Amino acid sequence: MTTAHLEHTAHDHVHGPDCGHTPVPHGDHIDYAHDGHLHRAHDGHYDECEPAGHQPCDNHTHVHGPDCGHDSVDHGDHVDYLHDGHRHAAHGDHYDDH
């Protein structure tokens, strides 16, 4: 899964463990959920950290929802759920890995 390099400009807030935004483990770095999207520190600025392409999550039998026990993160026009070190988003009749 690749992630496009899209710089998030005019970002004055510094993300970190005590910034108040939900940290989201993502591969080799941490994203922070902020204003409906995810930011990651990159070379002195923040990037939008969004996956490229459609990545179905195979063999995902768990149904996510408000009482499923997993943390949720508002992400644009939907909600992602943090599960097994990545984010899952409902997509049709399956979940996608984000």
Which tens digit of pLDDT belongs to each residue from 25-72?
Answer: 877 888 888 777 788 888 888 887 776 667 888 777 888 988 998 888
Given a contact cutoff of 8 angstroms between Cβ atoms, the answer to whether 40 and 29 are in contact is yes
What distance lies between CA 1 and its chain's CA centroid? 13
pTM assigned to the model: 0.61
Mean of the pLDDT values across residues 75-92?
A: 80
Tokens of 16: 């970190």
Domain ranges of the chain: 2-97
Separation CA 91–CA 17 (nearest Å): 30
Which tens digit of pLDDT belongs to each residue from 63-79?
Answer: 898 899 888 888 778 88
Given a contact cutoff of 8 angstroms between Cβ atoms, the answer to whether 43 and 56 are in contact is no
Separation CA 46–CA 40 (nearest Å): 5
Helix (H) or strand (E) holding 30: strand 29-34
| Count of beta carbons in the 10 Å neighbourhood of residue 12 | 4
Separation CA 16–CA 56 (nearest Å): 30
